[in-house]
Structure 1
Amino acid sequence: MSYEIPVTQARAELADLINRVVYGGERVVVTRHGKPLVALVSAADLERLESESEVAEEQVISSVSSVRSFPSAPGERGRSRFGIAAEHREP
């Protein structure tokens, strides 16, 4: 569950907000002029989010590194690895 609170009110209620996050399992979004500014999450929640991010990053790296390059087909001479012709011809 997420709870929104303006930054001016959050300053006055910081201790209560910390308790809601740690013991109530809530996520608190601090806003300024109605726009999200920061979020308060428990240390355990942050650790889980960072771990998920690292796993996703490793999956992307693994996927990219498993892509194999293939030799160019005949007639594709002069093309870069992006398939762009790089041959210069005199007029």
Structure 2
Amino acid sequence: MAYEIPVTQARAELADLINRVVYGGERVVVTRHGRPLVALVSAADLEKLEAGEAEEVQEQVVRSISSLGSVASAPGERRRFGIAAEHRGEHDHEG
């Protein structure tokens, strides 16, 4: 599952996010206005994705990004953005 974080918060926590990806095996999706902007994955995962050797990794990344609607908000996001961050619904993600 991917960890979702707003771009403004990601800037301030970049070193921590890198550690989560590299040492924690997490995938981080940086968002802007609640929409996925970029994903941080480990260099090992990227190599596997580029080599096409790990269809399972590709599927995991796609599932992680696709499941963003059910991902808990980043720590502090609710406090920073109030009730709006808590009540993002499916209709907010339609494009």
Higher Cα Rg: structure 1 or 2? Answer: 1
Q: Larger % of helix: which?
A: 2
Q: How many residues end up aligned between the 2 structures?
A: 54
Q: Distance in 1 between matches of 2:24 and 2:49?
A: 18
What residue number does 2:16 align with? 16
Deviation at 1:52, TM superposition (A): 1.1
Residues 34-79 of structure 1: CA deviation (Å, up to 9, x unaligned): 00000000000000011117x9xxxxxxxxxxxxxxxxxxxxxxxx
What residue number does 2:39 align with? 39
State TM-score, norm by structure 1: 0.56
Corresponding residue SS for 2:52:
helix
Aligned letter for 1:5? I
Backbone CA RMSD of aligned residues: 1.6
More RCO (CA 8 Å, sep 6+): 2
Q: Distance in 1 between matches of 2:4 and 2:49?
A: 20
State the 4+ residue runs in structure 1 displaced beyond 2 angstroms.
none
Identity of aligned residues (%): 87
Aligned letter for 2:19? N
